[in-house]
Amino acid sequence: MIESASLNKNILKDRPNVRWFQLFLGIVCMVMVANLQYSWTLFVTPLSAKFGWERAAIQVAFTIFILTETWLIPFEGYIVDKIGPKPVILFGGVMVGISWVMNSQVTTLPMLYLAQAIGGIGAGAVYGTCVGNALKWFPDRRGLAAGLTAAGFGMGSALTIIPIQSMIKSSGYESAFLYFGICQGLVICLAAFAFTKPFKGEVLDSDNPTLILDNANNTTPMNTLKSPIFWVMYLMFVLMAAGGLMAVAQLAPIAKDFQIADVPVSLLGLTLPALSFALSIDRVLNGLTRPFFGWVSDHIGRENTMFIAFGIEAVGIYALSQFGQDPVLFVLLTGLVFFAWGEIYSLFPATCGDTFGPKYAATNAGMLYTAKGTAALLVPLSSVLVTITGNWHAVFLTAAAMNLVASLLALFVLKPMRRKAGFRV
């Protein structure tokens, strides 16, 4: 891996604003698929009430969505790298629309599971394409571009949560699925026609001293899988995703066991029950952290940023275990945990793009993103630990330890490995 000796200063000479428009399109499409994950909880109770299904059985559909959304991204990314983003985004939009239209008509659990599998395939196609396209267009600002794109997914449902809730109450969950499904799918399909990939040599090589952005290094997916650097990043991704999810995915039962879920908390002129306040902060900070730490990593280096962010996450989770019984501290520390966790969805794709090049960016980043699916399979261990120990202390300690290990791996393993391979870090 050889550092580029010269910089291409003729960035987008003929299409100076195209890459920012491409980034905007990616964010819009990510917003359109965010509801498939983050608004799902609004439909669980109405489905259970109508059909009498157990909530655990309904949540199997959500697990199916996560697995199909995650594990198929490498294949969808491969198609993007071969034929471009437009047809894959169009396919994703159609699948997203079909999924929620089917959800509006389901009468059996198998039909619900099928609909969610279709939605996962569609969401994965959109997610993988948008992140991969951002990495291709912004080799000089991969952290920021990946962060802004991922923020669309992390914060995208914030604007539609209340309208969906209102429609469920006024017209039933069926109408919410139907109309929002059609709208979301249609917006994605229309945006698809404007997607494009950069011409060869069209984008700028960075003169940022913390990055090596050598377009000559375009590692194929098979060779990426043979790279020890990839597997170190994969392990770190799993540790961070699982460690964070163990702590934050169980917020409701944790708040209930701490006996603070309904205790009013007043901060910044707002008064809400502690759990509601914490969940509201999730939407905001889980989105803001992605471009923020992505931008930081563009300036001080990926591994240095990982070390800081992952370390903050470990401290935040441990502090939550020690002081979370106080309602105000529960809200504040939960916010810290969310803020130090969501950046994994910008830092890892950016580091992957730096290391393995832009040509196969969608495929390689997609392969790395499957770590989210692997981590999801580990999350039920938190319930096992609670059953064995009778409290959440072991869960918090395990999650904090996983984040601490990831933080140390970034600085003392990944950074030396990338430096030895020829990357300036």
Contact present, 357 and 219 (Cβ < 8 Å): yes
Query: Could you tell me if 285 and 408 lie in one domain?
Result: yes
Q: Is 322 domain-assigned?
A: yes
Rounded Cα gap, residues 367 and 373, in angstroms: 11
pLDDT at 213: 43
Q: Is 425 domain-assigned?
A: no
Query: Could you tell me if 160 and 244 lie in one domain?
Result: no
Query: Could you tell me if 122 and 265 lie in one domain?
Result: no
Query: Could you tell me if 233 and 378 lie in one domain?
Result: yes
**CA-based R_g, the chain, Å:** 21
Among 310, 276, 49, 86, which Cα is nearest to 172's?
Answer: 49
CATH code of the domain containing 295 = 1.20.1250.20
121 membership: H or E segment, kind and range: helix 109-137
Domain boundary among 176, 192, 208: 192
Query: Could you tell me if 226 and 177 lie in one domain?
Result: no
Query: Could you tell me if 286 and 180 lie in one domain?
Result: no
Query: Could you tell me if 156 and 227 lie in one domain?
Result: no
Provide block-wise average pLDDT over 10 residues at a time, the chain (425 residues). 38 65 96 91 88 87 89 92 94 98 96 97 96 91 93 84 88 96 98 90 50 60 96 97 75 83 89 85 86 95 97 95 93 92 94 92 94 84 80 88 96 96 77
DSSP3 helix / strand / coil % (the chain, rounded to 5): 75, 0, 25
Rounded Cα gap, residues 306 and 352, in angstroms: 13
pTM as predicted: 0.83
For the chain, how many structural domains are there in total? 2
Q: Which domain holds residue 405?
A: 221-420
